[in-house]
Amino acid sequence: MRVAIYSNDGSTSNKVASQLKAKIKDSDKLNYDGLNPEIVISVGGDGTLLSAFHHYIDSINKIRFVGIHTGHLGFYTDWRDYEVQQLVDSLEDDNGQSVSYPLLSIDIKYKDGGPSDSMVALNESTLKRVNGTMVTDVNIKDEFFEKFRGDGLCVSTPTGSTAYNKSVSGAIISPQFNAVQVSEMASINNRVFRTLGSPIIIPPNEWITIIPDDPYHNILTCDQLLVKNRPIESITYSISNDRIYFAQYRHTHFWKRVSNSFIGVHKDD
């Protein structure tokens, strides 16, 4: 089985990555292949897994990910840095088991007459404005829904619902749902201006289009990436036809992960 390692630059991560590489070289069943891997092991935190996802985006349907965390518990990282041998044993016993999660499709049209862009996010995409109020039309299935005024909008996947979306009071969605959520960032609501004021969640056969009044001065993100600075005509969000796959050697129940990460104290503690 062809295995790649994608590590951050931390000293613990580098140490773990070297140990892994040596064990892969010693294995009869595993080959190190950074160009055309079947398994990508991310070593670091959620941010490292996000970077690995975007690095291998062109072959995303052929890859299964495994996350080792070298810092505090992450959402996409099931293995600890001291479990390298157990992970290698699991890789050698691999029988193709996987779990997959929905991704966000982002189609961007620009006002400069240049080519449009299509991107895929694992966590979310945000459209924000820092100098002044962001004013946009929000359409659902090409029908006008509302005029949004505020700091910005966050459009997230179910696995991304525990990230930025949670900080702006979006709901946490189990990744068993194929859904996309739109959450507001500091919307202006008064007698003159009105937005829905609640997060909305759309199913696979619907899409959301955001059309900023001002094509300039917007900040568009896709996970940790800043999308290039071109005047935006519209952004259409929907559930991607692609999914992310994780090798499922062990399974932390989603709600257990949420409880461990955000609540921490348990009944028996």
State the Cα–Cα distance between residues 98 and 80, nearest whole angstrom: 19
Residue 184 assigned ligand-binding role: no
State the Cα–Cα distance between residues 260 and 249, nearest whole angstrom: 20
Establish if 70 lies at the interface with ligand NAD (CB under 6 A). Answer: no
- Using the minimum distance from each CB to ligand NAD, give the nearer residue, 91 or 151: 151
Could you say which of 37, 45, 150, 212 contacts ligand NAD (CB under 6 A)?
A: 45
When CB distances to ligand NAD are compared, the closest residue is 47
Establish if 224 lies at the interface with ligand NAD (CB under 6 A). Answer: yes
Establish if 75 lies at the interface with ligand NAD (CB under 6 A). Answer: yes
Nearest distance in Å: CB 148, ligand NAD: 19
Establish if 167 lies at the interface with ligand NAD (CB under 6 A). Answer: yes
Establish if 162 lies at the interface with ligand NAD (CB under 6 A). Answer: yes
Measured N-to-C along each axis, helices 11-26 and 84-92 cross at an angle, to the nearest 10 degrees, of 40
Nearest distance in Å: CB 75, ligand NAD: 4
- Using the minimum distance from each CB to ligand NAD, give the nearer residue, 12 or 139: 12
List, by residue number, the catalytic residues. Answer: 46
Stretch that binds ligand NAD, among 81-89, 107-115, 128-136, 158-166 (CB under 6 A): 158-166
Establish if 183 lies at the interface with ligand NAD (CB under 6 A). Answer: no
State the Cα–Cα distance between residues 156 and 124, nearest whole angstrom: 4
Establish if 6 lies at the interface with ligand NAD (CB under 6 A). Answer: no
Establish if 123 lies at the interface with ligand NAD (CB under 6 A). Answer: yes
Largest CA distance in the chain: 70
Which residues, in sequence order, are bridge partners of residue 230?
none
Residues making contact with ligand NAD (CB under 6 A): 45-47, 50, 74-75, 123-124, 159-160, 162-164, 167, 223-224
Q: Which residues are annotated as a binding site?
A: 46-47, 123-124, 149, 151, 162-167, 186
Binding-site positions for NAD(+) read: 46-47, 123-124, 149, 151, 162-167, 186
